[in-house]
Amino acid sequence: MKVLVVGSGGREHALAWKIAQSPLVDKLFCAPGNAGMAELGTCVGIKAEDIESLAAFAERERIDLTVVGPEAPLVAGIADAFEERGLSVFGPTREAALMEGSKHFAKQVMLEAGVPTGSAEVFTDYDAAAECVRRGSPPYVVKADGLAAGKGVVVAQDDRAAYEALKACFLDKRFGEAGNKVLIEEFLEGQEVSVLTLVDGEHILPLAPAQDYKRVGDDDTGPNTGGMGSYSPVPVMSAEDYRRVVEEILRPTAKALAGRGIHYRGILYAGLILTQEGPKVLEFNVRFGDPETQAVLPRLESDLVPAMLAVLEGRLPEVELRWRDEACVTVVVASGGYPGDYKTGYPITGLGEASSLEGVVVFHAGTRRGEGGEVLTAGGRVLNVSALGRDFQEARERAYRAVERINFTDMYYRKDIAMRAVRGA
């Protein structure tokens, strides 16, 4: 079969890497892809947001399965456009994608389903939101309602930071229309965990849990990013926590969506926090997590393609997934200055040497080929270095050993990824 992977980041490279291993797949296309994905399949110069061109390409090339990586085309309705043409696409429809496209919508679904989550108030203007801050007490969680590339959530430790976050949304229009509606949420204390779940309507099949690092600096300092590293499994998440996530969060959410007439097909990503009262939902996303996918898929022994097809055909209860016992650690290598201003176009060296180390796979995130064939930086998050090991200590050592082989101008990465897992905390 022919498969098209839509997107150009580390998550999409990991998906393409896993899909390419399937004996069911004869030909792989990536749109637009990156320098790493070009080694697995044919990259086509169509942007992920260009839905009409993607659908026309899939129709022309008789693509059997399209897998959508990023959230933006899903929220824009790529699944609807493909389905109207009779094309198979792994990803939720525009209406279902509101679970990520609107935090207010997701909160309404959670309340309907009785899912444990933080309380929240919704605002559409600065003055009313600022009044909520004035009568409250920090910390506050300020969330732009719409898509903001992972940068629309601010944990404000004092009133001033909360006002700044509200100003960024309502007055500075930093996130465009995504910031026209804002949620001020209860701050929840605990460690964050991500659980990616296959959903074919009311049936669910959770994947192995992962934990990622949102802050740019060591010891969780600095601004939020799209993610600076991840690891799987998650030692701090007990078997009972996992059971409660499945039974009290994932199943009820899928059922609530179905009750609204929304047939959800694809991945539902639960961003959770392990509080003293048990797991609670911070957010839902409607696609594979980034960089969690890069730590989860290397641990998956099973072929991912049949599982995706089972989702589309409503056969998810037939699927069983096998997992490796090893731990996986993923370190994100970024451009200096990210998530703020940064420069691109720098040559990257050491990729072959890093990839040849035992247990290591280097996923490209923001890369492109130069005119001379060299790999150049082309984004804020440039590479995701993933490594398997017998335990977190070995996986972590392998990942950082590989990172040390890589070099480019202004290269930056966190030094503490998975340290808490090594300590078992």
Q: What is the pLDDT of residue 270?
A: 97
Residue 276 lies in a domain: yes
Same domain, 306 and 349: no
Phi, psi of 334, rounded to the nearest 5 degrees: -120, 170
Helix (H) or strand (E) holding 56, with range, is helix 51-60
Q: How many CB atoms lie within 10 A of CB 226?
A: 22
Query: Are 154 and 262 within one domain?
Result: no
Do 284 and 308 fall into the same domain? yes
- Per-residue pLDDT at 263: 94
In a domain, 108, yes or no: no
Do 308 and 332 share a domain, yes or no? no
- The answer on 392 and 374 residing in a single domain is yes
Residue 343 and residue 312 in one domain: no
CB atoms near residue 342 (< 10 Å) = 17
Please say if the pLDDT value at position 154 is more than 90: no
Q: What is the CATH number of the domain that holds 266?
A: 3.30.470.20
In a domain, 114, yes or no: no
* Residue 78: domain span: 2-94
Question: Tokens representing 316?
Answer: 């998810």
Which residue, 94, 110, 130, sits at the end of a domain? Answer: 94
111 is a domain residue: no
User: 105 in a domain, yes or no?
Assistant: no
- Domain identity same for 156 and 217: no
End-to-end Cα distance, the chain: 44
pLDDT digits (tens, 9 = 90+) for 374-402: 999 999 999 999 999 999 999 999 999 99
Same domain, 200 and 279: yes
77-127: per-residue pLDDT in tens? Answer: 999 999 999 999 999 999 999 999 999 999 999 999 999 999 999 999 999
Same-domain check for residues 176 and 239: no
Task: Flag whether 150 is in a domain.
Answer: yes
Residue 16: pLDDT over 70: yes
Q: Is residue 228 part of a domain?
A: yes
| 260 has pLDDT over 90 | yes
Considering the domain architecture, whether residues 217 and 314 belong to the same structural domain is answered as yes
The overall average pLDDT reported for the chain is 96
Q: Is the pLDDT of residue 424 over 90?
A: no
Same domain, 150 and 167: yes
Predicted confidence (pLDDT) at residue 183 exceeds the cutoff of 70: yes
Cα 208 from Cα 196, distance rounded (Å): 7
Residues 309, 405: one domain?
Answer: no
Q: Let me know if residue 82 belongs to a domain.
A: yes
Average pLDDT, stretch 328-355? 97
Report d(CA 190, CA 213) in Å as an integer. Answer: 14
Number of domains in the chain: 4
